Structure 1
Amino acid sequence: MKILSVISSMDPVKGGLSQGVRNLVPALAALGVHSEVLSFDAPDAGFLGQDDFPVHAIGPAKGPYAYCAALRPWLEENVSRFDAVIAQGLWLHNNAGTWRVLRQLRRAQSAAGPRFYVMPHGMLDPYFQKAPERRWKALRNVLAWKLFEGAAVNGADGVLFTCAQELLLAREPFSPYRPQRELDVGFGIQAPPPLTAAMAPAFAARCPGLGDKPYLLFLGRVHEKKGTDLLLRAYLDLRRKRPDMPALVIAGPGLESEHGRSLLAMADGQPDVYFPGMLRGDEKWGALYGCDAFVLPSHQENFGIAVVEAMACGKPVLISPQVNIWRECAPGGLVDEDNAAGVTRLLTRWFALSPAERSARGVAAFAAYRRHFAAGEAAQRLLRALRAVQNEPMGVAA
């Protein structure tokens, strides 16, 4: 089978979507699947050229909708090489634009062509329509759904979900919502690189002053949605009562944003709070392997790649039930609500555990990663689903 993923950007700074693709493609390759990626990045973007699979950059895209005029001619010339096309993510031109071209090609050529799938990656979560700070974006999404986005989702041969919770939540925010197939295919990550002697120093260089202190780790985009303000505030409140607490590292892009600047101001003058920015390579894995626990009290998280990466490193995870995979993760950590009281309880419960209990949670976290989130298993589930659809009649709505 040959699969084309269409994505607005492969830039790792823009979130976990591109990393999800980078995790999936090698796992599919191990099963004999040939994958290529079509992105709307500029061909000379600095983050391109480092992947072991073809990435066709046909941008740069224009405007907030990431419109890419080169999409149609590229698909017209190349799409016949593929058995399946997956639009990775919603609300940008890569989804509805791809669906529109494929539908027109099917009609013009009177041939089935490749199957078309949409993988929302949590972008149909009702949170995005309810969050007060997203009022105008929510209205924009309603209009986009009525005009073209809903037609692409409902017209696709299947909608691919990363977990059962995402599938259920996707049914809530928009109407009409009548996908031809809802497919819970799961998601996974590649096994982390083995711990090496270079990793800890690489991370330490990004956190001068941390030294050998134990620490809790947040690793991800520094954004209000992630609950980083709740985490920092709860940590500082508890630290006033127990100065022997481990340090807190909040790592990731976004410190230049208004939310990031507010966190820096909140932590100003406070000991043992570190903001190393975005971590890559040995820096990132050194941070994960070295932490006591990973913390993500997010208000909405479809999958949480960094959560699973921490589990793959044998680290307990402290998360909210708004992380959609929390049920699978629960044996390997603690779960509490995404509000001030909940995050305070989360940290308090963690500090109350004995060293043996914390170690046991780490062992359980690694076991849960192997059971639910290994990339090879996720790739097999996806491939089984695609092959099953391949053998069914082509839907008329497509």
Structure 2
Amino acid sequence: MKILHVIPSVDPKYGGPIEGVTQLSVVCRDLGVEVEICSLDAPDAACVRNSQALIHALGPAVGSYWYSRSLVPWLKMHSHEYDAVIVNGLWQYVGFAVWRVLAKSSTPYFVFPHGMLGPWFKHTYPLKHFKKWFYWSWAEYRVLRDARKVIFTCDSERLLARESFWLYKVNEAVSGFGVANPPANGEELAARFLAGYPHLRGKRIILFLGRIHEVKGCDLLIEAFAKISHHDEQLHLLIAGPDQIGWAAKLKAQAESSGLAHRITWPGMLQADMKWGAIYATEVFCLPSHHENFGIVVAEALACGKPVLISNKVNIWREIEADGAGLVEDDTLAGTVTNFERWLAMSQAEFQTMTARTATCFASRFHVQRAAERLLEIIRESK
């Protein structure tokens, strides 16, 4: 079997989809499946040059829609070489281009929405949602309608997607998602990370790792930290990730006004060993997100044995709560504060029990091997 993933960009700064595609691809190759990626990055982009995957880079694309005049001709020439084409994400040109070429062809295509049908955006940005209606009715609706399957990473995502647009007709499937085993040399990686940030040695680190974006609840995180920081002078907040919308300046001003700027560290985007080192060096991972389709980094934290403090808008919260691998509250200031207070009130024995449960939760629910096997099953069943 040969699969083509189509995605706007393979640059990791755009969040979880490309990380998920990369990890799925590695396991699929181990299972004897050829996997290639088509992106709209410039061929000489660093993210293309540094990737271990076979990437057909057809950019640079134009605008936030990621339009490329090269994509449709390339698909017409090469799509017959693949047993399945998988579109990753919505609201960008890649989906419409795949639909134009493959809707009536013998090559089946599938769509991973990656949470882009979540209702949070509908309620938070009603004007943008209204504008999307015009695009939805003549383009995105057809992309989803004619896909062999629209694949959701968890059942919560599948159910929430039905709330976004009333003109909604898709062939649903749930594949799961996940990550591979993390590096085993956790102590070494943590030491290497702390060598780069020596002021964090001996601190009880609370880690946020992800895009600096309103949807992630970073403002709630800072305000909640200000309310609980008096519990222990060693508590320290680490907010790591790319700032795509220029929000970090406002958040840093918020931290200054709270008088806690010296207890919050902003290392920017962390990758490879530095990312893993940060996770291993932390005590808990925190994500008070207003909308989170799956949460690749949540699974990574669990894989490293770190309990997670998350909101009930992270779509895998039910599984984590059921396994006792973390704490879950509302995506509000009160909920975020409560998560912190519940964690800080734990006895050492209680926290060690929760820590032990993270590995079981990861292995049984969020390992990428299971997700890859299920994805291939969906493709084979759809032939």
What TM-score bracket applies, with the shorter chain setting the length? over 0.9
Q: Does 1:308 align with 2:299?
A: yes
Structure 1 gap segments, 5+ residues each? 107-111, 391-398
Q: Which residue of 2 aligns with 1:135?
A: 126
From 130, 141, 144, give the equivalent of 1:150: 141
1:309-348 to 2 correspondence within 5 Å? Answer: 309-330=300-321, 331-348=324-341
Cα deviation 1:106-144 (Å, max 9, x = unaligned): 2xxxxx2x111111011111111111xx23321222111
| SS of residue paired to 2:247 | helix
Q: Which residue of 1 aligns with 2:373?
A: 380
8 Å contact kept, 2:303–2:359: yes
One-letter amino acid of the counterpart of residue 211, structure 2: R
1:186-201 to 2 correspondence within 5 Å? Answer: 186-196=176-186, 198-201=188-191
Q: Which residue of 2 aligns with 1:246?
A: 235
Deviation at 1:206, TM superposition (A): 4.3
8 Å contact kept, 2:207–2:237: yes
From 248, 252, 255, give the equivalent of 1:264: 252
Deviation at 1:68, TM superposition (A): 1.0
8 Å contact kept, 2:202–2:234: no
One-letter amino acid of the counterpart of residue 283, structure 1: M
Q: Which residue of 1 aligns with 2:224?
A: 234
8 Å contact kept, 1:206–1:276: no
Q: Does 1:284 align with 2:275?
A: yes
Q: Which residue of 1 aligns with 2:7?
A: 7
Taking a change above 3 Å as real, the CA distance of residues 51 and 350 of structure 1, as seen in their structure-2 partners, is same
1:81-96 to 2 correspondence within 5 Å? Answer: 81-96=81-96
- Whole-angstrom CA distance in 1 between matches of 2:35 and 2:5: 8
One-letter amino acid of the counterpart of residue 128, structure 1: F
Q: Which residue of 1 aligns with 2:160?
A: 169
What is the CA RMSD across the aligned residues, in angstroms?
1.4
Q: Which residue of 1 aligns with 2:63?
A: 63
- Whole-angstrom CA distance in 1 between matches of 2:255 and 2:90: 35
- Whole-angstrom CA distance in 2 between matches of 1:123 and 1:24: 19
- Whole-angstrom CA distance in 1 between matches of 2:186 and 2:149: 42
Deviation at 1:363, TM superposition (A): 1.4
8 Å contact kept, 2:178–2:371: yes
Taking a change above 3 Å as real, the CA distance of residues 3 and 76 of structure 1, as seen in their structure-2 partners, is same
Q: Which residue of 1 aligns with 2:49?
A: 49
- Whole-angstrom CA distance in 2 between matches of 1:200 and 1:173: 42
8 Å contact kept, 1:192–1:309: yes
One-letter amino acid of the counterpart of residue 28, structure 2: L
8 Å contact kept, 1:226–1:296: yes
TM-score, normalised via structure 1 length: 0.92
8 Å contact kept, 1:206–1:283: no
Structure 2 gap segments, 5+ residues each? none
- Whole-angstrom CA distance in 2 between matches of 1:178 and 1:281: 40
One-letter amino acid of the counterpart of residue 68, structure 1: S
- Whole-angstrom CA distance in 2 between matches of 1:327 and 1:206: 36
Q: Which residue of 2 aligns with 1:396?
A: none
Deviation at 1:156, TM superposition (A): 0.8
| SS of residue paired to 1:186 | coil
Deviation at 1:15, TM superposition (A): 1.1
One-letter amino acid of the counterpart of residue 189, structure 2: M
Cα deviation 1:45-85 (Å, max 9, x = unaligned): 01113333211100011122111111111111111110101
| SS of residue paired to 2:87 | strand
One-letter amino acid of the counterpart of residue 325, structure 2: G
One-letter amino acid of the counterpart of residue 193, structure 1: P
- Whole-angstrom CA distance in 2 between matches of 1:8 and 1:262: 29
- Whole-angstrom CA distance in 2 between matches of 1:48 and 1:232: 35
| SS of residue paired to 1:319 | strand
- Whole-angstrom CA distance in 1 between matches of 2:245 and 2:253: 12
One-letter amino acid of the counterpart of residue 185, structure 2: L
Taking a change above 3 Å as real, the CA distance of residues 297 and 355 of structure 1, as seen in their structure-2 partners, is same
Q: Which residue of 2 aligns with 1:395?
A: none
- Whole-angstrom CA distance in 1 between matches of 2:166 and 2:200: 51
- Whole-angstrom CA distance in 2 between matches of 1:35 and 1:336: 39
8 Å contact kept, 1:319–1:334: yes
- Where do 4+ consecutive residues of structure 1 move more than 4 Å? none
Deviation at 1:267, TM superposition (A): 2.0
Cα deviation 1:288-331 (Å, max 9, x = unaligned): 11111100010000000010000000110000010000011112
1:198-217 to 2 correspondence within 5 Å? Answer: 198-217=188-207
Q: Which residue of 1 aligns with 2:25?
A: 25
8 Å contact kept, 1:190–1:375: yes
Percent of paired sites with the same residue: 43
| SS of residue paired to 2:118 | coil
Q: Which residue of 1 aligns with 2:284?
A: 293
| SS of residue paired to 1:47 | helix
- Whole-angstrom CA distance in 2 between matches of 1:57 and 1:356: 51
Q: Does 1:223 align with 2:216?
A: no
One-letter amino acid of the counterpart of residue 268, structure 2: G
One-letter amino acid of the counterpart of residue 279, structure 2: L
**More displaced stretch, 268-277 vs 327-336:** 268-277
